[in-house]
Amino acid sequence: MDEARGDKPTMEESSSTSTPVLRISQLDAFELDTALEQLVWSQFTQCFQHFKPGHLTPFEPELKALLQLLLWRFTIFSRSATVGQSLLNIRYKNDLSQAQRYRAMSRRQKLWFALCTTGEKWLKERSHSLFLNRTTESSINKARHALTFLSGIAKVASLLNFLVFLQRGRFPTLTERFLGVRAVFSRPQGVRDIGFQYMNRELLWHGFAEFLIFLFPLINTRKLKASVCSLFSPLDGQGSGAREGAHCTECALCGEWPTMPHTIGCSHVFCYYCVKSQSIADMYLSCPKCGMELKSLEPVKMENPVFDSTS
């Protein structure tokens, strides 16, 4: 009874294996695995930072291969999934089996996977160091040209395989296609239910934000601010005696004591750098106090204010 029940795939297994994994998820898993390998290698090299420089260089390919095999032992060999795949809720399935239920990678597939991934990286790094100082020997030259030719063929095959992957969504690498393993979901994916009101609101705010991004650069905010300030500022005729000192002791733009005071034709005073920078940014600059447009920039002779010490 149990054996008959075990031959039939459960609903969760069939849904997890039938739902295709997104292409971007499979590529993201490779990026996460590469980042993990670099992190492990950097942490490993920090243990030897106080040793003689270049102490690990002669054995670097072997040490990297050893660390990659260590990761392979606790990921692919034990769970049929890399660390990146585990984070994205996917794993490898033995695609050679005709059964509909999930079948993990066989032991032979796992060993060949380690040989095709770790062994390939080790061969590239070790062959580069071997052929580096032995370019004069004819046999070494032939071996180097043969490896270069095989590497070129492998790159072309990888490119063609990647184009097929972009079309069909399976087997992003030659290793997976050669071994017959593909990525499937570890657990069934829940259905994402997005309401129409939510989508309508998102589209509305997105369009409104794009409209504001297009509109704001066309608005002269300095001119608008000057016009608003001129509407709420008191008339020049009212309290001219009380306002005369304020006009000459503060910049109409920054509100500080005017440095190299200049005027634009009205009774207000501006710092030279304030009015010059504003006039470069806005060719129709107007006074924010009274609204008069810039006619001519003329220096103003300031007199020292008299402070009443008896008050």
Q: pLDDT tens digit string along 107-131? A: 999 999 999 999 888 888 887 777 6
Kindly write down the DSSP assignment for every residue of 205-234, as one continuous string.
Answer: HHHHHHHHHHHGGGS-HHHHHHHHHHHHSP
Percent of the chain whose predicted confidence (pLDDT) is above 70: 77
Average pLDDT across the chain, whole number: 79
Residue 74 C-beta-side C-alpha neighbours within 13 Å: 6
Predicted confidence (pLDDT) per residue in 72-88, tens digit:
999 999 999 999 999 99
Residue 54 has pLDDT above 90, yes or no: no
Exposure pattern of 154-176 as b/e (b: 16+ CB <10 Å)?
Answer: eeeeeeebeeebeeeebbbbbbb
Predicted confidence (pLDDT) per residue in 157-209, tens digit:
999 999 999 999 899 999 999 999 999 998 877 666 667 777 788 888 888 88
Higher pLDDT, 228 or 272: 272
- For 111, other C-beta atoms within 10 Å of its C-beta total 14
DSSP designation for 57: G
Contact between 23 and 173 under an 8 Å Cβ cutoff? The reply is: no
- pLDDT of the residue at 65: 93
Residue 279 C-beta-side C-alpha neighbours within 13 Å: 16
Q: Exposed (0-12), middle (13-18) or buried (19+): which is 36, by Cβ within 10 Å?
A: middle
Higher pLDDT, 11 or 148: 148
Exposure pattern of 124-134 as b/e (b: 16+ CB <10 Å)?
Answer: eeebeeebeee
CATH architecture label of 221-299: 2-Layer Sandwich (3.30)
Contact between 269 and 251 under an 8 Å Cβ cutoff? The reply is: yes
Q: Tell me the residue length of the chain.
A: 311
What's the CA gap between 224 and 32, in Å, rounded? 51
Give me the sign of the Cα torsion angle 9, 28, 96, 165.
positive
**245 band by pLDDT with thresholds 50, 70 and 90:** very low
Contact between 265 and 296 under an 8 Å Cβ cutoff? The reply is: yes
What's the CA gap between 196 and 161, in Å, rounded? 39
Rounded to 10 degrees, the C-alpha dihedral 229/230/232/233 comes to 100
**150 band by pLDDT with thresholds 50, 70 and 90:** confident
**55 band by pLDDT with thresholds 50, 70 and 90:** confident
- pLDDT of the residue at 2: 41
- pLDDT of the residue at 83: 92
- pLDDT of the residue at 96: 84
Contact between 126 and 58 under an 8 Å Cβ cutoff? The reply is: no
Predicted confidence (pLDDT) per residue in 273-305, tens digit:
888 888 887 777 778 777 777 777 888 765 544
Average pLDDT over residues 91-106: 83
Predicted confidence (pLDDT) per residue in 197-233, tens digit:
777 888 888 888 888 888 877 776 766 776 676 666 5
- The residues, any chain, with a CB within 8 Å of residue 172's CB and separated by 6 or more, are 23, 26, 27, 30, 161, 162, 165
State pTM to two decimals: 0.56
Own/partner contacts of 67-70, CB < 8 Å, gap of 24 or more, are 67/37, 67/40, 67/41, 68/37, 68/117, 68/118, 68/121, 69/114, 69/118
Residue with tokens 């292409």: 23
Give me the sign of the Cα torsion angle 253, 258, 260, 266.
positive
Domain ranges of the chain: 2-185, 221-299
